[in-house]
């Protein structure tokens, strides 16, 4: 009739008649022109090349399996609609590189005692601890180990955090050890670790400042040792039962044992052979070898600063007796 629009029915047609894929891919194919709920039969001509993954009404999802060709067919009302699928070999994935490495193979830590952190100046950039990590592999770390003569200064957690148990002594300012990461397949990665003491660094700096201020090239060795005894007695008070020689310089107090070791290390820093008497009865005595002679310097008197000190030459049987009581090797001094 005039004015009436007649709309032709849409013929069924696949969304693709040809499809190129690589192995392992999936593709969704639809038969247009029919209802979504219409029963459509889907099949593949070669299941080893293209397999049907999901069928739902007028839609199918298929997957490419290996290199080759196959035809995916939709059958609707006894009519067939075909899509030719060409499957190409996909690029083979390269195996992941397996080259495990530690994030560092040389680490330096600096120990800082809580009891002294308010008394010394130190570099805030110095590491107190370090976290080791392994990269370049999917293997896990089975164990972390610390070995070496100085291993006891360090500890490491089961997740690779390296920390200090305590700081090195003044006579051995640097300690070293080896950290080993053992992977689950048995491979081992190693790193060298070393540690210093912030307190020792500070003491060395203080000793250097003492030399610059009080020691001159014209002084004899004996005069230098006497100046060191004066400095200790003038800058520290006597404190009962405090034999920590560090406290003489850091806290300005200590007993006679602390004073004699403080003198020993200050003299040693200047290149003077000196040794604190180890025998407890030798109150405040330090044996010093200066200008070819032996002297005993006595510090640590029980008085407030400035405290007195004394020095006298010792030789003969008195020297031999002192050496025997304190287990001194006199040849060491003369070398």
pLDDT at 6: 45
Compute mean pLDDT per 10 residues along the chain, 335 residues long, and list them.
54 92 93 89 94 92 94 93 92 82 97 89 93 95 97 96 95 96 97 96 96 97 98 95 95 95 98 94 93 95 91 97 95 93
pLDDT at 3: 52
What pTM value is reported for the model?
Answer: 0.69
d(CA 333, CA 290): 9
Domain with CATH 2.60.40.1080 in the chain: 13-88
Task: Evaluate whether the domain defined by 13-88 bears CATH number 2.60.40.1080.
Answer: yes
SS3 category, 170: coil
**CATH H superfamily, domain 101-199:** Cadherins (2.60.40.60)
Q: Under a CB-based contact definition with an 8 Å cutoff, are residues 261 and 308 in contact?
A: no
CB contact burial 256-293 (16+ within 10 A = b; e otherwise): bbbbbbbbbbbbebbebbbbbbeeeebbbbbbbbbeee
pLDDT at 320: 96
Domain with CATH 2.60.40.60 in the chain: 101-199
Q: Under a CB-based contact definition with an 8 Å cutoff, are residues 54 and 92 in contact?
A: no
SS3 category, 260: helix
What distances in angstroms separate CA 95 from CA 48, 138, 255, 265, 296, one per listed residue? 26, 12, 69, 60, 74
């Amino acid at each position: 009739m005039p004015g009436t629009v007649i709309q032709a029915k849409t013929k069924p047609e696949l969304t693709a008649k040809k499809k190129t894929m690589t192995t392992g891919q999936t593709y969704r194919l639809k038969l247009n022109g029919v209802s979504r709920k219409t029963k459509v039969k889907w099949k593949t001509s070669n299941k080893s090349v293209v397999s049907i993954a999901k069928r739902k009404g007028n839609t199918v999802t298929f997957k490419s399996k290996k290199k080759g060709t196959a035809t995916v067919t939709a059958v609707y009302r006894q009519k067939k609609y075909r899509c030719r699928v060409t499957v190409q070999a996909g690029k083979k994935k390269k195996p992941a590189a397996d080259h495990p490495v530690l994030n560092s193979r040389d680490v330096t830590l600096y120990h800082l005692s809580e009891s002294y952190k308010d008394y010394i100046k130190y570099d805030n950039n110095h590491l107190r601890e370090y976290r080791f990590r392994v990269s370049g592999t999917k293997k896990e770390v089975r164990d972390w180990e610390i070995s070496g003569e100085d291993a006891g200064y360090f500890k490491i957690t089961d997740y690779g955090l390296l920390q200090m148990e305590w700081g090195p002594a003044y006579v051995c300012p640097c300690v070293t050890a080896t950290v080993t990461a053992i992977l689950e397949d048995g491979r081992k990665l190693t790193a060298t670790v070393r540690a210093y003491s912030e307190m020792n660094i500070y003491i060395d700096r203080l000793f250097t400042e003492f030399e610059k201020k009080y020691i001159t090239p014209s002084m004899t060795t004996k005069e230098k040792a006497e100046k060191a005894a004066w400095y200790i007695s003038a800058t520290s008070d006597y404190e009962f039962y405090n034999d920590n020689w560090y406290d003489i310089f850091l806290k300005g107090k200590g007993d006679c044992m602390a004073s004699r070791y403080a003198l020993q290390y200050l003299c040693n820093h200047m290149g003077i052979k000196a040794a604190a008497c180890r025998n407890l009865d030798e109150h405040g005595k330090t044996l010093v070898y200066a200008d070819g002679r032996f002297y005993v310097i006595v510090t640590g008197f029980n008085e407030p600063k400035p405290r007195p000190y004394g020095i006298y030459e010792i030789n003969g049987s008195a020297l031999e007796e002192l050496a025997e009581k304190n287990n001194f090797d006199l040849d060491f001094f003369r070398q």
